[in-house]
């Protein structure tokens, strides 16, 4: 039997559970057999328009069943799916389109103007009406395209916190083994209904819940855009059993007035990643009886590297990203300056490289090992702690300071809503810490007060030397703090040292 890779999943599930609901979204539901039929027709329509193996097919739009139909149809014929970040500007998207050179750009009704602005008329745009017409075209039996695990499936652009985004190329095998890794850690069931709230242009949106749930024949409740109130309502009314999110989403939900009384009884677990959640946020969810499973990963690993597992350990360590995945090897590379080692990753889920960037690919790899750029340690039970980015480490008087460690302590203080710590030059110590602090409601934190509260929790050299109170922290489209922007904005005249 031909190996159709990940594009065959709806087709295979249609034979196992043909009338089970695969997708729901407001006003629309789609069974596995109907999904398979639509994917086959759309794949045939792509072939009729001369889309072939290796050609790129882009999508710009909010989470929607249509995005996943395009994804599977492209995969079915060996084309490469390129989901685009809806939060980018036209000029930013134009850079990604020039890099990936897609043959088609599908878009939803809300992004037609942005698609036109980004494409400059160089890409064939396919709106909702034309896409729907393509799925209704009579489809002859598809030619055997013989798509295998080694074929490219998707290009996901990294968040670009250090420069221009790079397109990570993930193969069918990468996505498949990431799914296997997820299923080894979490008992995904065919009776599950997972809420798709993480954007599908992000690796977590595809890999953390969507593909594992489809593989097991569960149902995906697609949410076009995240709104805290709507997500809480969806959990109760659609009997949601799981979802994947970034910590910002978890915080927005537990800060919502409806959170204390919302019906969360159907939730078996919530997977989150991208950065650690604060202890306060984790406790808020635990007090509602919900287990948080933090994962650590990166786009280049499809994205899973480590993940917590259900049980007492997850409840006791809600801000640890757990243990390495089943099909993933990890290695700790000693840091030349001492301190926490850099984590290296190898496995069948690790990408084949960056699109058209051989030099960047070579720099990211050491033989079979992917350099994560993150300082990670493991406790005696094998559970991970992410100290922070190697390049973000602050070297003060020869001592290493990892911002994530300081931020975790700051964020636990009652006067602090959230924080970010960066290094700034110092004549005596080389570098010292500058903490950007978003205060809790009604609070007015000071450097003296914060240092006093942290005294005894952190070594003196780790205490922030300066504090700036700000309304918000700059974040990129995936919710990660843009530390370079913070380093670049520090004033020429810093506050007086304490």
Same fold, 5-378 and 393-489: no
Name the residue among 213, 223, 165 with its Cα closest to residue 189.
213
The residue ranges of every structural domain in the chain are: 5-378, 393-489
309-356, pLDDT tens digit by residue?
Answer: 988 888 899 889 999 999 999 999 987 666 789 999 999 999 999 999
| Spatial distance between the Cα atoms of 88 and 82, rounded to a whole number of angstroms | 14
Tell me what pLDDT residue 477 has: 64
358-388, pLDDT tens digit by residue?
Answer: 999 999 999 999 999 999 999 999 999 988 8
| Residue 57 CB-half CA count within 13 A | 31
Tell me what pLDDT residue 494 has: 52
pLDDT interval class at 498 (50, 70, 90): very low
Inter-residue contact 297 to 304 (CB < 8 Å)? yes
166-224, pLDDT tens digit by residue?
Answer: 999 999 999 999 999 999 999 999 999 999 999 999 898 999 999 999 999 999 999 99
Lowest mean pLDDT among 100-104, 148-152, 482-486: 482-486
The chain-wide mean pLDDT, for the chain, equals 90
Tell me what pLDDT residue 149 has: 95
Higher pLDDT, 255 or 393: 255
In this structure, whether the domain defined by 5-378 belongs to CATH 3.40.50.720 is answered with: no
CB atoms within 10 A of CB 492: 4
Tokens, residue 426: 């110092």
Residues contacting 108, CB < 8 A, separation 6+: 60, 61, 62, 64, 66, 128
86-112: average pLDDT: 93
Answer yes or no: is pLDDT of 411 > 60: yes
425-463, pLDDT tens digit by residue?
Answer: 887 788 899 999 999 989 999 889 998 999 888 888 889
How far lies 283's CA from each of 286, 287, 291, 375, in Å? 5, 6, 10, 25
36-91, pLDDT tens digit by residue?
Answer: 999 999 999 999 999 999 999 999 999 999 999 999 999 999 999 999 999 888 98
In this structure, whether the domain defined by 393-489 belongs to CATH 3.30.300.30 is answered with: yes
pLDDT interval class at 496 (50, 70, 90): very low
| Spatial distance between the Cα atoms of 96 and 480, rounded to a whole number of angstroms | 20
Tell me what pLDDT residue 497 has: 44
Lowest mean pLDDT among 145-159, 420-434, 482-496: 482-496
| Spatial distance between the Cα atoms of 268 and 140, rounded to a whole number of angstroms | 43
């Amino acid at each position: 039997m031909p190996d159709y890779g990940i594009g065959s999943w709806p087709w295979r599930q249609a034979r196992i559970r043909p009338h089970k609901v695969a997708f729901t979204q407001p006003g629309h539901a789609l069974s596995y057999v109907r999904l398979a039929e639509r994917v086959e027709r759309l794949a045939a329509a792509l072939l009729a328009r001369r889309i072939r193996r290796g050609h790129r097919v882009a999508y710009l739009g909010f989470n929607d069943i249509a995005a996943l139909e395009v994804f599977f149809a492209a995969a079915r014929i060996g084309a490469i799916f390129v989901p685009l970040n809806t939060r980018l500007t036209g000029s930013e998207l134009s850079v990604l389109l020039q890099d990936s050179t897609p043959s088609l750009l599908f878009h939803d009704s809300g992004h037609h103007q942005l698609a036109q602005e980004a494409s400059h008329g160089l890409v064939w745009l396919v709106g909702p009406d034309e896409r729907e017409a393509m799925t209704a075209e009579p489809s002859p039996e598809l030619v055997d395209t013989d798509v295998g695990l080694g074929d490219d499936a998707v290009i996901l652009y990294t968040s670009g916190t250090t420069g221009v985004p790079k397109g990570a190329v993930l193969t069918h095998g990468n996505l498949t083994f990431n799914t296997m890794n997820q299923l080894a850690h979490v008992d995904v069931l065919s009776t599950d209904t997972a809420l798709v709230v993480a954007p599908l242009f992000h690796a977590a949106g595809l890999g953390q819940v969507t593909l594992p749930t489809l593989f097991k024949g569960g149902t995906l409740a697609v949410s076009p855009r995240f709104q805290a109130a709507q997500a809480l309502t969806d959990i109760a009314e659609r009997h949601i059993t799981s979802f994947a999110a970034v910590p910002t989403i978890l915080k927005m939900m537990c800060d919502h007035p409806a959170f204390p009384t919302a019906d969360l009884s159907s939730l078996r677990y919530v997977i989150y990643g991208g950065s650690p959640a604060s202890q306060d946020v984790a406790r808020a969810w635990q007090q509602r009886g919900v287990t948080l499973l933090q994962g650590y990963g990166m786009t280049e690993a499809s994205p899973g590297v480590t993940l917590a597992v259900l049980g007492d350990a997850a409840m006791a360590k809600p801000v640890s990203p757990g243990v390495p995945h089943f099909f993933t090897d990890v290695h700790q590379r000693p840091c030349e300056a001492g301190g926490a080692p850099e984590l290296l990753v190898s496995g069948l889920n690790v990408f084949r490289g960056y699109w058209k960037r051989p030099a960047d690919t070579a720099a990211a790899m050491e033989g079979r090992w992917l350099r994560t750029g993150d300082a990670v340690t493991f406790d005696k039970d094998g559970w991970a702690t992410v100290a922070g980015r190697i390049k973000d480490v602050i070297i003060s008087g020869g001592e290493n300071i990892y911002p994530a460690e300081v931020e975790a302590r700051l964020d636990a203080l009652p006067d602090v809503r959230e924080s970010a710590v960066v290094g700034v030059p110092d004549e005596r110590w080389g570098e010292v810490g500058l903490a950007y602090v978003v205060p809790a409601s009604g609070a007015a934190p000071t450097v003296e007060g914060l240092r006093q509260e942290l005294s005894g929790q952190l070594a003196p050299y780790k205490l922030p030397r300066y504090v700036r109170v700000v309304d918000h922290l700059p974040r990129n489209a995936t919710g990660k703090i843009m530390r370079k922007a913070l380093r670049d904005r520090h004033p020429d005249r810093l506050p007086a040292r304490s």
